[in-house]
Structure 1
């Protein structure tokens, strides 16, 4: 069963799914599941594989798993009988020293400690075009954990040494779970076609164009006339891409773009 669960975990990670892995780390007295038991819990609360016991534990674990997937923070849940909780002066639902406590309602009256780890997909960076800035951006973003998708003509794919997925042409792939960040790096080679493809795809957390404001404004006029894109969609991309760091070289421009993406990605995740 453990091998099957690990196979399932690897398969779900490979397809970019969002899920939580629950592992029983300690049991005391009589419990249905024992230490080492695992279960895969999806974002809707369904258990797609494994087993961590019956109804005595399932409800508390699913609630904790869904909360962990919301904030990306692992949790340790201790499911204990009422008399043990009372002895420690702990109420069901209380969090103490990083442990969330829940009441075991089953006649067995055992204790289970369960570690819940949220498994979130790598953030997706879609680079449209094969300019030197796009290549530098792929190299830099790969180092800090982004899943890189290159959308460019197949003949230009060889320019990239760091990418996970490839699309022939400018069309964006279907969006997977998690945030997606899109940067148009055509720099004069198919700018309008690349922007049209990006703007006609589902909205992304970040969409930016490597080019001047003047060029972007001209492209907005062209896209409105040729593709009939509405003003709100045409306003959805930022230009120029990146923070104003005074960047000049492709590597510096890539750094400024990734810094801006990091601000967008991490906004609201840190305490003030």
Structure 2
């Protein structure tokens, strides 16, 4: 177990595991929940057994059996956390796999098969689901578009932080996190998307703050011409071309939006497109 793991007894109760998962969520740490859904013959763990697996491959709490199941479960958990997709794995003796016409590591009808090397020669099916931190939308500024973003974003899975001077904070009726001024934390536990929507009040300082931290996306609500003017001023102050190139302006997809709510919707559509890129596979109707 890594030094980052949260210590839990192997015989953790359901309540223990719920508390552990809540703590990991609060810390913004991704994990996978493995649940034994079926066993046949002799197996160490029985249906209903659960384990919480962290991104580093350590089991933070719970138990799903010994080495016979652990390796396959950890590999599947790692894959779940990489692509955000659930897995169902079936660990069976080699002769049963042959009877099914499958080889270890093969996937068939949504089930990934693995070989049970233990003397017990039982079968165990384990369902593994990833639990990933909610992405965070950091809104810099308190313009009407910023307020609309704070209202709409939580409905599609984003946690929101309002970043604005103290006297502008009342513009946000309800938001998950408030940051007075524009000093953003350097590190963030979850993927972070930044939208500067200052509407002429502190544009330059807000853009500086947004470009000073790592983020999946930095967008500026304003015209392309205004954005270029601000970028030129930042370049004069010594900001690198590479860093300035991160600014997406105007923010959002071109939906012909006019009202603050429509503009906020176009921005969220763009963020959703970025967030889900590569996650839809070959679903019918998916763009090439």
- Please say whether Structure 1 and Structure 2 have the same fold, judged by a TM-score greater than 0.5: yes
In 2, Cα distance between the equivalents of 1:120 and 1:175?
Answer: 17
2-structure distance, mates of 1:222, 1:47: 50
Task: Measure the CA separation in 1 of the matches of 2:73 and 2:225.
Answer: 54
Residues 6-59 of structure 1: CA distance to partner in whole angstroms, max 9, x if unpaired? 111111112221110001111112111111111111112111111111111100
Answer with 32-41 or 217-226: which moved more: 217-226
- The answer to whether the 8 Å contact 1:167/1:173 transfers is no
Aligned counterparts, 1:8-87, within 5 A: 8-87=20-99
What secondary structure sits across from 2:28 in the alignment?
A: coil
Q: Which residue of 1 aligns with 2:149?
A: 137
Unaligned runs of 5+ in 2: 1-12, 283-287
**Rounded Cα–Cα distance in structure 1 between residues aligned with 2:254 and 2:95:** 61
CA distance in 2, matches of 1:161, 1:36: 43
Preserved CA contact (<8 Å) 2:34 2:53: yes
Q: Which residue of 1 aligns with 2:10?
A: none
Cα drift, residue 178 of structure 1: 4.2
Q: Do residues 265 (structure 1) and 261 (structure 2) align?
A: no
Q: State the match for 1:223 in structure 2.
A: 234
Aligned residue number for residue 242 of structure 2: 232
Measured after TM superposition, the shift of residue 174 of structure 1 is: 4.0
Task: Report deviation, 1:177.
Answer: 4.3
Q: CA deviation at 1:128?
A: 0.6
Runs of 4+ in 1 over 3 A off after TM superposition: 174-178
Deviation at 1:215, TM superposition (A): 1.4
Counterpart in 2 of 1:213? 224
Task: Measure, in 1, the Cα distance between the counterparts of 2:36 and 2:273.
Answer: 36
TM-score (norm 2): 0.89
SS of the aligned residue for 2:248 comes to coil
- How far residue 214 of structure 1 moved from its aligned partner, in angstroms, is 1.8
Equivalent residue pairs, number: 270
- TM-score (ref. length: structure 1): 0.94
2 CA distance for matches of 1:51 and 1:257?
Answer: 43
Structure-2 separation of matches of 1:76 and 1:134: 41
Residue 120 of structure 1: aligned partner: 132
Q: In 2, Cα distance between the equivalents of 1:25 and 1:198?
A: 46
